[in-house]
Amino acid sequence: MAQAAITFEHVSKQFNQCGYAAVDDVSFTVEQGEFVTILGSSGCGKTTLLKMVNRLYQPDAGKILLFGKDVAKTDAVQLRRSIGYVIQQIGLFPHMTIEENIATVPQLLHWEKATISKRVTELLDLVGLPAQEFRNRYPAQLSGGQQQRVGLARALAAQPKIMLMDEPFGAIDAITRMGLQDELLALQKELNKTILFVTHDINEAFRLGNRVMIMNQGRICQFDTQKNILENPADAFTKALIDSAKAQQRFWEDFT
């Protein structure tokens, strides 16, 4: 059996101002090389869950292990440099060129200049932005979708084993999105990355994941393969989610 890459043990997180827990007694295990998509409606705690992995948030209770090591006992800065993170708001640095943005983590890790430059070219190719044209531009000179791709490239730069992706394809049109999903799938197979991928979109969640985690109000409703979820939805929320996707499917079929 593969080694567990990410383990949550009874993790809870409550923000001071809230009367309820944003993440409520969550336990699960993700094996190395798994692509897990996290699906749930707005405000259910997806981002909070993700941010506890790289210690942007401190859990109030429970333990998070990465490759068997308790994250609370590792050096936070080193930990974050070793984890790829795509933030929901894209978060490119406006005062840095695309090249400098992508080079952020390699620079923090003191890679050599030539190596960094080569890596930037490689990554821009990978996310489908011609390096010649884009490397010296500033984020403001890119479309929202192009910015998201740069955000993805930046997260991949230092070859992290674990990737945390918070709605990375939100601002990308359907066709480009499909292309990027394919790229990401291929990439993940090839590099054996462990990915936690947050999304609102049930189609995206079911298309990308090895397993899908369905969240509602800070709890995990179901964490299983697509097949099992479809065959045995664990609760009413999961069932409603699937029904809505099926209704959408029928909507398209009505046209043909």
CA distance 35 to 55: 21
Find the shortest distance in angstroms from Cβ 127 to other proteins: 17
Task: Indicate whether 58 belongs to the interface with ligand ATP (CB under 6 A).
Answer: no
When CB distances are held under 5 to 8 angstroms depending on the partner's kind, the choice from Mg ion, other proteins, ligand ATP, none that residue 191 binds is: none
Q: At what angle do helices 144-156 and 174-191 cross, to 10 degrees?
A: 10
Span interacting with Mg ion, options 59-67, 87-95, 140-148, 215-223, rule CB under 5 A: 87-95
When CB distances are held under 5 to 8 angstroms depending on the partner's kind, the choice from other proteins, ligand ATP, Mg ion, none that residue 54 binds is: other proteins
Find the shortest distance in angstroms from Cβ 149 to other proteins: 16
Task: Indicate whether 22 belongs to the interface with ligand ATP (CB under 6 A).
Answer: yes
Written as one string, the DSSP assignment of 200-251 is: S-HHHHHHH-SEEEEEETTEEEEEE-HHHHHHS--SHHHHHHHHHHHHHHHH
Q: Work out which of 47, 54, 146, 222 binds Mg ion, going by CB under 5 A.
A: 47
Task: Indicate whether 256 belongs to the interface with ligand ATP (CB under 6 A).
Answer: no
Find the shortest distance in angstroms from Cβ 41 to other proteins: 21
Task: Indicate whether 86 belongs to the interface with ligand ATP (CB under 6 A).
Answer: no
Smaller CB distance to ligand ATP: residue 120 or 221? Answer: 221
At 156 the three-state DSSP class reads: helix
x/- mask, ligand ATP, residues 88-107, rule CB under 6 A, reads x-------------------
- For residues 184 and 9, is the Cβ–Cβ distance under 8 A? no
Task: Indicate whether 46 belongs to the interface with ligand ATP (CB under 6 A).
Answer: yes
Smaller CB distance to ligand ATP: residue 59 or 106? Answer: 59
CA separation, residue 200 to residues 37, 166, 240, 244 (Å): 10, 10, 14, 13
Long-range contacts of 65-68 (CB under 8 A, 24+ apart): 65/4, 65/6, 65/7, 65/9, 66/5, 66/6, 66/7, 66/162, 67/3, 67/4, 67/5, 67/32, 67/161, 68/3, 68/4, 68/7
Residues that bind ligand ATP (CB under 6 A): 15, 17-18, 22, 40, 42-48, 88, 200
Residues that bind Mg ion (CB under 5 A): 47, 88
